[in-house]
A and B are shown apart, each in its own frame.
Chain A
Amino acid sequence: MASHEAVPTWEQVASDYGRVIYNFAYRLTGNRDDASDLAQDVLLRVRKGLAAYQPGSFEGWLWRITRNAFLDEIRKKKRRPTTELPDEDRSAIRTSPTPEDVLAETRLSDQMQAALLQLPYEFREAVVMCDVVGLTYQEIADAADVPVGTVRSRIHRGRLMLRDALEAR
């Protein structure tokens, strides 16, 4: 999805990235309303910022905007976005699941989401950018403005914290 030549239009960004930005926001906040507000804020910032965007690492640019929008939101609300219980996950496209399958899968997703929300922000962000958004370590480093080694450490420590949280249940 990376574009290194042309500047995309807002419509392209919204269509190519809207859903993944929303999913990033949803996994960071654990609730739909905050995720929706955040994704809208990001797309508004993209609209304003595209005119000044210089072709380069589009992923780094976009995710830096996303991250800044999220951090601004935290500052504005002056609260940690870690206290709310996650919404119940709706399952992805599937073929005739049994009710037991649905329950089991929802329970696993809820446990994972709850564990994610317990992580300190830097670790949660790194893990979500890597495993939900699918960014490379370099792209995460560009977005968070830290060295790649820091990203590697945050992802690994984040995963170890998740492992411990899930095994403690």
Chain B
Amino acid sequence: MHLGDRLSAYIDNELDPPARSAAERHLSDCPPCRDELEGVARVRLRTRALPLQEAPLALFAPSAEVVALPVRRRVLVAAAAVATLVVGIGLGVNGNEAVPLQLNPLVEQHVARASLDPGFNVIQVQAVVGR
């Protein structure tokens, strides 16, 4: 009897030690099982090598209302959250009077450009917010 789905369990390290040893003994003299193992191992590696996709910035916006908004608006709301964060950091560093008010328009400009220009990569912003 061939190993069947135990081959996938074997390469996923999902067999207990006795079953693992038994599978290895079987593999040592069963060419068809070795072929099948090689095939599923190749597919497994290719699936695991699929490039990780960047998630949209809006996913990480903490406001529940955000999910109901159209895409461009969602990006703006998320960016407003970033702006608030940046202003908050400014406050912490500089004290009460040194609020860097000019940051807000800067972020808005950035996001306005990001939302209009398909070649402009919003994902760069996400790297800051998502971590």
Asked if A162 lies at the interface with its beta carbon under 8 angstroms from chain B, I say: yes
Helix, strand, loop or mixed for chain B's interface? helix
B residues near A4, Cβ cutoff 8 Å: none
Q: A22-B59, A39-B59, A157-B5 are in contact. Are A109 and B51 (CB under 8 A)?
A: yes
Residue of B nearest to A9 (CB): B62
List A residues at the B interface (Cβ < 8 Å). 10-11, 14-15, 18-19, 21-23, 26-27, 32, 35-36, 39-41, 43-44, 47, 89-92, 105, 108-109, 112-113, 116, 127-128, 130-132, 136-137, 152-153, 155-157, 159-160, 162-163, 166
A residues near B48, Cβ cutoff 8 Å: 131-132
Indicate which residue in B14, B43, B53 contacts A23 across the interface (CB closer than 8 Å): B53
Q: Are A89 and B50 in contact (CB under 8 A)?
A: yes
**Could you give, for residues 28-51 of chain B, a 1 whenever the CB lies within 8 Å of some chain A CB and a 0 otherwise?**
000000001001101110111111
Give CA–CA (A130, B49) in the complex, Å.
Answer: 13
A residues near B51, Cβ cutoff 8 Å: 89-92, 105, 109
Give CA–CA (A149, B85) in the complex, Å.
Answer: 48
Least CB distance from A162 to B in Å reads 5
Residue of A nearest to B4 (CB): A156
Q: Are A43 and B50 in contact (CB under 8 A)?
A: no
Q: Are A92 and B52 in contact (CB under 8 A)?
A: yes
Helix, strand, loop or mixed for chain A's interface? helix
A residues near B40, Cβ cutoff 8 Å: 156, 159-160, 163
B residues near A44, Cβ cutoff 8 Å: 64, 67
Give CA–CA (A56, B39) in the complex, Å.
Answer: 36
B residues near A90, Cβ cutoff 8 Å: 51, 53-54
Asked if B131 lies at the interface with its beta carbon under 8 angstroms from chain A, I say: yes
A residues near B131, Cβ cutoff 8 Å: 15
B residues near A128, Cβ cutoff 8 Å: 47
B residues near A131, Cβ cutoff 8 Å: 44, 47-48
Residue of B nearest to A26 (CB): B53
**Could you give, for residues 60-78 of chain B, a 1 whenever the CB lies within 8 Å of some chain A CB and a 0 otherwise?**
1010100100000000000
Q: Are B59 and A159 in contact (CB under 8 A)?
A: no
Asked if B12 lies at the interface with its beta carbon under 8 angstroms from chain A, I say: yes
Give CA–CA (A40, B74) in the complex, Å.
Answer: 11
